[in-house]
Structure 1
Amino acid sequence: MPATDRAGPPSLAVFTHGELIGDALIKIPFVRALRGLFPDHRITWITTEGTHLATTLRPMMDGLIDEFRADTGIGRNPLGLLKPMPIKDRFSLVLDTQALPWRTLLARRLKHDLFVSACAGYRLSDRRPPPGYKEPRHVLDRLFDLLEVAGGRRPPLDMAVPIPAEAEAEARAVLPDGPGYIAIAPGAGKRVKCWPLDRFVELARAQVADGRVPVFILGPAELDWLPELRAAVPQALFPLQDAELAEPRYSPLRTIALTRRCAAAVANDSGTSHLFGLADVPLLTLYGPTTAEKLRPKVTRGAVLTASTFGGREMERIPADAAIKEVEALIGS
C-alpha cells in the first residue's frame, strides 16, 4: 500500500550525510521551505553521522522536523549496499541531498513511493529538472532546485527566521532604540579565515566616528580578544559577555535576535556569518582562503569582499577602507 494511502499524514524523509554547525545553519532556510512546501507531511531527517539540527539548533526545528534519526550509519561505507537497510518504514517521498552515487544508491533502498536526488545530474532520481538544467554553485540554490523538482513549484527563500518574543525582548533591552548598531564578528572556526583584529578595530572606530555603536559578537574561542577590543574601542558593546545573561549564553537565537537590532553586520566566513544571515540584516562577509560562491550567506542586501580581489588568499590583503566603504554602501542602500 502506498505511504500516502495509510492512516495518518503522508511521510517524507530527507537523507543527508550529516550537518556540522555551519552546514546546519546554511540548511535552515531549506528546512523552513521544505515544511512550507509539504505542510501536511510528517518529516523525518535521516543522517549518516550526527547533525547540529538535532542538537545545537534543535529549538529552531520545532514545528519543522517531526523526527530525527541521526547517526544511523547509513552511507558510512559502500559495504552497506550488501547489508539490510536498518530503517524499515515506508515514505511517500525520499529527498536525497548528498552527492556521492553509492550513498544515493543506499538512500534509494529506503522504502519509498517517490525518490528525488540531484546526485549525478538527477540520473538516479525518479523526477528530473527540464532538459538543459545546469546545477548552480550555491548550496541553497541546489537544495531549492531539489524542492522544486520534488514539489512541482519553487518555494520562496525566506532567510529571516522567527524569533521568540522573549528573545526579542531581551535583545531590545540590551540594544535599546536610539543609536545605530553595527554587529561585528571577528572570529571564525579557523584563525586563517579571520581578518586581522586591528582591521576590525579600524572598522569599529569608523562606525563610532559616524555616530554608530559597534556590537562585537564574541564566542568562547574569541574571549582572549576581549581586553584588547575593549581598550581599543571603549564605545563598543559586548552583549554576549554580559555577566547577567541567562544560560545558554551562546544561544543561536540570542545572536540572531541581537543582530536583528543592528543596521548592518560584518563577519568572516564563519558560523556567525550564517547567524547574521538568518537575521537578514545588510551583511558584509569577508573571504580569504575560502570561496564565496558556494556558501555565502543569502540576505536581502549583502556584499562580499575577497582577498583574491586584492591579489591573494590571505585575509590581511583586504584593506580596512574597502570594508568601511562597503558598510557605508549597505547602510545607505
Structure 2
Amino acid sequence: MNDGSPLVDAQQQFVDALSSKTTNAEICRLSAALGRTLTGDVQAPTDMPPYHRAIVEGWLVNSADTKGAGEDSPVNFNISGNIIPGDESCPMPGAGEALRVATGSIVADGPVAIIRPWEGKEEGNIVSITRPFPPRFFIEEQGYDLKQGTTAVAAGTVIGAAEIGTIASLGIDEIAVASAPKVTLFASGDEVIPYTDTLKPGSIRDSNSIMLASAVTAAGGIPVIAGIMDDNFDKFVTAVKTAIENADMIVISGGTAVGGRDFISDLLKEVGELIIDGVPMRSGRPLIMGKAGDTPIICVAGHPPEALRGFSLFGIAALNKLMDRDAELPADSQNNQPPQKP
C-alpha cells in the first residue's frame, strides 16, 4: 500500500518501470522448496480432510437418541465398539449404542454427534448423558479445509514451513517454482580493497559484497560476486555490459554520492536507462536505479548499513517482481523522513 511518502513513491516508480518478464519456472522437490516462489496454483487433488473425522475423543451416538436427556432424565448408551485413527470406516451407531472414538478418527455420515469425555459418565460398558447433542457435534466434515480442485496455495506465494505442510498433506512432492534470479554484485571505488586484505591509510575493506550476497540469498536469489571496480568509467561500463548478458539483476555498491569522481548515474545511462537518480531519504542521494533491457540495476551507497538498507528497499522489490511474488513493497525499518530544508 502506497502511503504517499517520497520513498514509497520511488519504490513504486522503479517497480512499475521494470519489465513484466519473470524468471523461468522449474520443478522443485518439496523438501527443497523452502523460500522458493510458486509459479502456478497448487490445487487439492482430493477433499481435505478426505473423510468426516472426530475433532475430539469421546463417544459417537445417534443425536436423535439424545433428545430428552437432562439432569433428572439421563439417557444411557451401550458402548458397542471402538473407532481409532487408521480405521477405514465407521458404522452408524445403532439405537441406544455408542462407539468410542479418538481425535482424528473417521466417523459416519448422518445425524451423529460426539459426546465429549466431560459430558458423559462411563461405568462399565455404559455411558450416560444429561443433555441433548445436535447432529454433527464436534465433527469436522469431509472437505472442510479444502474441496477437491480448489486452490490450496496460490501462485506467487513464497513457500514457508506452513505451505510445505499444506502441500505435503495433499500428497504432492513436486511443484513448479520460479528459477532463482542471478544477481551480479559489484563494489566500486579506488579506495576499496578485498575484506581479507590488510588495511592501508585511505583504504576501505569491501564488506558490502559478501553482505549483499547474503541478502540476495535470503531474498531467494543466487549471488555472483563480480569483484571491485576502480573508478575507470570505460572499464566499469564494459564489466557491467558483460555481466548483463548472464545476470537477471545487477547491484552496485559505492560511487553514488555527489562528487566529481562518482559516475554511477552516467554509467546507468551508458548501459541502459536511468530511472531513479537519488531518493529523498535521510542518507541523502545514494540510491540510484535503472535498467538495461529487462535487467534491473540497483546502485546503493558504499556505507554498509545504507547499502543493506537500499538493497532491502529496492533490490528485494525488484527480485519480487522478477519472481512474480505476491508481495507488497518492502517497508523501511528506519522509517526515516527526508531531511528537512533549513
TM-score of the superposition, structure 1-length normalised? 0.26
Which structure has more RCO (C-alpha within 8 Å, separation ≥ 6)? Answer: 2
- Return the structure number with greater strand share: 2
Bigger radius of gyration among the two:
2
- Return the structure number with greater helix share: 1
